[in-house]
């Protein structure tokens, strides 16, 4: 049913692998692993507008949160009416609670497609092709390895075959993928301005926090190529979140207050004033004042008041 998705993912991997084969040997793990990493990077670049939309949706939800809480309190005994009023509020203000989940929803099909392609490449017999991957490329992918682990290898298969180098590499990849998943979701929730626990976006993120440690249990059955995709995607998300939230901190957060304080301090310093509002004394202040003191004061000739006799011409008696 999803063969069309697997066909697209396989074709993208083949195209990128063909380009990297001009630099690396086509049968090397670096060519196949690099194709997976570049596919992930290209996907995340396409998803940047969705991430920006997620940030706007989160802040819109924060602005509406006091009104939502008031509606929940007002209609706490009528959940149907409460949900209707909340959705009406969202529609009137152009807020979409599901918008925050868009990046995850877009990544999921690619993750499933890549998993299925690599799984079938791993299980393919000699002379068998997989979707857009020709039989020759299937054999090339099966032979490709990184530090002794093949791209289609899983931790479970390596353990059953007692391939110790593959066990170590896939085990490390499982641990890293689990940790990056946990820290990605945790960082997203920590910077999340929405405080409404019944918001679907918050519920999904809380669920992911609890599922992240369990990801390692599922990861032992993932091919090494899928784990590489997952680690690359999570690392990209961590860096992207740090950059966006440091440049545009959530309204009302401590980060925003610190940024505003730093900007005010910088503006005050530029205007020659200290943060307290007092003017700064420069090194040239004293010489200027000394020069002013040394200048001769201009004498003002005030008119003298003459006696009455001199003004009228009469003799003084």
User: Would you give per-residue pLDDT tens digits along the chain (317 residues)?
Assistant: 778 888 888 899 999 999 999 999 888 888 998 999 998 898 888 888 877 777 777 777 777 878 888 888 888 787 888 888 888 887 787 777 666 666 667 778 887 888 888 888 888 888 888 888 888 998 888 888 888 888 888 888 888 888 888 899 988 988 888 888 878 777 766 655 544 555 555 565 566 666 666 766 778 888 888 888 888 988 888 888 788 777 766 665 566 667 677 777 877 777 765 444 444 444 444 444 444 555 555 555 555 555 555 555 555 44
47: closest CA among 233, 205, 246, 190?
Answer: 233
Q: What is the pLDDT of residue 194?
A: 46
Long-range CB contact pairs, 141-150, < 8 A, 24+: 141/32, 143/27, 144/27, 144/28, 144/29, 144/31, 144/32, 144/33, 145/29, 146/29, 146/30, 146/33, 146/224, 147/29, 149/29, 149/224, 150/29, 150/224
Q: How far, rounded to the nearest angstrom, does the alpha carbon of residue 184 sit from its chain's CA centroid?
A: 9
Per-residue model confidence (pLDDT) at position 17 = 92
Distance CA 317, CA 314 (A): 9
Instruction: List the structure tokens of 134.
Output: 């020709």
Q: How far is CA 87 from CA 78, 79, 94, 208, 255, in A?
A: 14, 12, 10, 24, 30
Return the pLDDT at 43: 84
């Amino acid at each position: 049913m999803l063969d069309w998705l697997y066909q697209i993912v396989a074709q993208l991997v083949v195209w990128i692998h063909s380009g990297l084969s001009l630099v690396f040997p086509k049968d090397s793990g670096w060519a196949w692993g690099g194709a997976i990493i570049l596919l992930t990077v290209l996907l995340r670049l396409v998803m940047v507008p969705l991430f920006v939309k997620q940030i706007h949706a989160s802040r819109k939800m924060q602005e509406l949160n006091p009104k939502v809480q008031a509606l929940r309190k007002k209609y706490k005994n009528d959940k149907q009416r409460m949900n209707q009023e909340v959705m009406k509020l969202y529609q009137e203000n152009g807020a979409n609670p599901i918008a925050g989940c868009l990046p995850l929803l877009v990544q999921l099909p690619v993750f499933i497609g890549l998993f299925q392609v690599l799984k079938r490449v791993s299980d393919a017999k000699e002379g068998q092709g997989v979707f857009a991957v020709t039989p020759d490329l299937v054999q090339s992918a099966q032979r490709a390895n990184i530090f002794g682990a093949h791209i289609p290898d899983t931790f479970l298969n390596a353990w059953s075959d007692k391939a110790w180098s593959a066990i170590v590499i896939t085990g490390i990849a499982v641990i890293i993928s689990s940790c990056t998943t946990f820290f990605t979701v945790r960082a997203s929730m920590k910077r999340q301005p929405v405080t409404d626990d019944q918001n679907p976006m918050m519920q999904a993120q809380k669920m992911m926090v609890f599922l992240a440690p369990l990801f390692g249990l599922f990861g032992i059955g993932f091919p090494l190529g899928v784990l590489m995709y997952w680690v690359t995607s999570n690392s990209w998300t961590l860096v992207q979140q740090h950059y966006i939230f440091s440049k545009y901190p959530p309204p009302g957060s401590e980060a925003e207050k610190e940024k505003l304080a730093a900007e005010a301090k910088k503006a005050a310093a530029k205007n020659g004033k200290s943060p307290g509002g007092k003017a700064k004394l420069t090194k040239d202040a004293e010489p200027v004042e000394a020069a002013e003191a040394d200048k001769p004061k201009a004498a003002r000739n005030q008119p003298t008041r003459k006696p009455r006799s001199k003004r009228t011409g009469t003799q003084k008696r």
